[in-house]
């Protein structure tokens, strides 16, 4: 199977959901993806974050594929992230 954009978009990513405050003290919700440390998507509600994070994921994956970055897949062993070789 070719590991193209569609392949990666359909993986069962490990989502980390949370809530924080912006610089003005207003709450917002975020979604991170455990396997992609640089990924985060924010919205005013968790429903909007869940509804829309995949568009940002698609853009992030497109850049990673274009640049030849290693994309850690869910379940892939990763004892400790080697930040210097993650993306050449």
Helix (H, G, I), strand (E, B) or coil at 16: strand
pLDDT digits (tens), the chain, 88 positions: 679 999 999 999 999 999 999 999 999 999 999 999 999 999 999 999 999 999 999 999 999 999 999 999 998 875 566 666 666 5
Report how far apart, in Å, the C-alpha atoms of 2 and of each of 8, 67, 81 are.
10, 17, 25
Instruction: Record the pTM.
Output: 0.79
Looking at the chain, the number of H-run helices and the number of E-run strands are 2, 3
Edge-to-edge strand ranges of the sheet holding 36-43: 15-21, 27-33, 36-43
DSSP code per residue over 32-43: EETTEEEEEEEE
pLDDT at 32: 97
pLDDT at 2: 79
């Amino acid at each position: 199977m070719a590991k193209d954009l569609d392949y990666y978009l359909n993986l069962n990513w490990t989502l980390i959901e949370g809530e924080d405050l912006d610089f003005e003290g207003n709450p917002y919700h975020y979604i991170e993806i455990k396997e992609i440390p640089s990924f985060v998507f924010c919205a005013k509600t968790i429903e909007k974050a869940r509804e829309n994070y995949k568009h940002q994921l698609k853009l992030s994956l497109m850049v990673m594929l274009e640049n030849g970055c290693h994309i850690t897949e869910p379940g892939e062993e990763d004892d400790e992230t080697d930040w210097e070789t993650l993306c050449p």
